[in-house]
A and B are shown apart, each in its own frame.
Chain A
Amino acid sequence: MTPLERRYRQVLRLLPADHRARWADDMVDTFLLTRESTAREPDARVLDNAESDNPQPGDPESTNAGSDNALSDALSDALSDDEFDAEYGWPDWREVASVAGLAVRLRLGGAGAPARSVARGEVVRHVALAGLLVHAVASVVAVVSLVVAQARFPTYRVSDLDTVEVLVGLLWTVCYLTLLAGHRRAAGWLGVAALAPLVAMTVTDVVAGGLSVASAAGLVLSAALPVLALAAFHRDAPPVRARPWLVALPVGIVLVAAVAFATQTPGPVPLDWPGMLCVAVVVAGVGCLATGRVGPWTGALPVLAVAVLAERVLTLVDYARFTTAQDRPALLISLGVAQAAALLLVTAALTIRHRSAVAAGGW
């Protein structure tokens, strides 16, 4: 086995074991043959150039002699190129991407895939949809808050940077609606476009000293989670049932705006954004546990809970680090600890329920 073959077989480890057992040898043979043929293609071009580089009009013999030499050089180069490639070559990124794409389609299955793979795919697709819904709701509420603030306090000037940040956030809403409309590839690009400024601004905050590296990493990872999960919307994935998700958007906007208005300081109970997310996941989790049914939500909620928990814990740490003893929002921190504990409990219960159902083959 050449080093190139060994490297390609390592790439094939991305595939599920049963698929690998059936197809790996075939794939290796096809890969190596394709590789050998493409390795010779540039030499064909060299040969063409060698024939045309120094034409000798009226001297056919010298032309033939030149091309004969070029032919033998190119052939010997081709042989040594094959050996060199087998020793030092790596599978190119397009081949790796095609294997990675196949691995995603097989592991997060769609129509016609094994039941367990379809179930796993449904969980990840729910993570993507729910995560994008949260981003979409937050971005619309941010715009509404900005407009309301300007209307109520006309003398208050929002900086241009903040305005741009809020408006760019609407890309999440566009991404969400694009996915519901069935344009999966476009939704993927929009997700990346929405994530990029968030990453840039978070890094800027870290550099300016307004955010710890751990908090920044937590925020970026939780924002990136639904974008990564969009990979489950491959060409074999079933179409999204758009109606309930479309209804969820205005409902979520009204709920979040109402809760934000009711709980803003100096209101009775302070509830920050991670706190709202904790409450939402806990309520949804308790609802799932109460119905006793196991499905995509019992798998998706624990995944979402991990991202929310990271955001909750990291913001609590920042509250403790970046405030003085007098300014420290003691009630907010106490409530935050309680939210994290409740989230952990519900997540543990959901995970146990989901895993036991999957192990028993019930879902």
Chain B
Amino acid sequence: MTVSEQAFFVLTALVDEPRHGYGIVREVTDLSDGRVRLRVGTLYGVLDRLVTDGLAEHDREEIANGRLRRYYRLTDTGRQRLADEVDRQAANARVARDRLRSWHRAEGTA
């Protein structure tokens, strides 16, 4: 089963350190050069699914500005799942790149 683009970026945002919701939103915006801007409803749909599937888990809680802030971290399964997805996307990209190169060569010689 493939990972949606939003889930892919959320998993990637959690690779280096545990983050809270807003931290994930900001990191995903940076990672995607502003192309993916997660809305809160979208983020927590993705996060709920990742936690249910055991790909991410609760790390710790902090109180900031009188509000409860929960941090999430990647599980080993999540890290492996992301690695598999990266391999899959890289293989796809390789196939497409080879095809395009062949086409450009054929166009150049025609």
B residues near A112, Cβ cutoff 8 Å: 49, 52-53
B101 within 8 A of A: no
Q: Give, as a whole number of angstroms, the nearest-CB distance from A182 to chain B.
A: 15
Which of A17-25, A127-135, A285-293 is the interface stretch? Answer: A17-25
Query: Contact mask A96-122 → B, CB, 8 Å, 1/0?
Result: 011111100110000010000000000
**Contacting residues, chain B, for A94 (C-beta < 8 A):** 39
The docked-state distance in angstroms from the alpha carbon of A84 to that of B79 is: 42
Answer yes or no: A306 CB below 8 A from chain B CBs.
no
Of all chain A residues, the one with the shortest Cβ separation from B22 is A33
CB-defined contacts of B69 to chain A, threshold 8 Å:
26, 29
- CB of B7 to closest CB in A, whole Å: 11
The reply to whether B67 and A27 form a contact with Cβ atoms under 8 Å apart is: no
Q: Which residue of B lies closest to A96 (CB)?
A: B41
CA gap between A100 and B41 in the complex, in Å: 8
Using known A-B contacts A19-B48, A22-B48, A23-B48, determine if residue A29 contacts B41 with beta carbons closer than 8 Å. Answer: no
Cβ B41 vs Cβ A101 within 8 A: yes
Q: A27-B44, A101-B42 are contacts. A34–B52 as well, Cβ < 8 Å?
A: no
Q: Chain A residues with Cβ under 8 A from B49's Cβ?
A: 112
List of B residues within 8 angstroms of A19 by Cβ: 48
CA gap between A30 and B68 in the complex, in Å: 10
Interface bits B51-64 vs A (CB < 8 Å: 1, else 0): 01100000000001
Interface residues contributed by chain B, number (CB under 8 Å): 23
| A87 is an interface residue with CB less than 8 A from chain B | no
A19-B41 Cα distance, complex, nearest whole Å: 11
Residue B40 lies at the interface, judged by CB distance under 8 Å to chain A: yes
Chain A's interface size range is 20 to 34
B45 near A26: Cβ-Cβ < 8 Å: no
> Which of A33, A94, A99, A100 is packed against the most chain B CB atoms within 10 Å?
A33
Instruction: Decide if B43 is an interface residue (CB 8 Å cutoff).
Output: yes
Which A residues are in CB contact (< 8 Å) with B39? 94-95, 97-98
A71-106: which residues lie under 8 A (CB-CB) from chain B?
94-95, 97-102, 105-106
Note all chain A residues with C-beta closer than 8 A to B43: 30
Closest A residue by C-beta to B51: A22
Contact pick for A99, options B26, B41, B48, CB 8 Å: B41
Contacts of B45 in A (CB 8 A): 101-102, 105-106
A102 touches B67 (CB 8 A): no
Contact across chains for B20 and A30 when beta carbons are under 8 A apart: yes
14 intermolecular pairs with C-beta atoms under 8 Å apart: A25-B68, A26-B44, A26-B69, A28-B67, A29-B21, A30-B43, A34-B40, A37-B22, A95-B40, A97-B41, A98-B42, A101-B42, A102-B42, A112-B52
Task: Point out residues on B near A: beta carbons under 8 Å.
Answer: 4, 20-22, 25-26, 39-45, 47-49, 52-53, 64, 67-70
Which residues of A are interface residues toward B (Cβ below 8 A)?
19, 22-23, 25-34, 37, 94-95, 97-102, 105-106, 112, 235
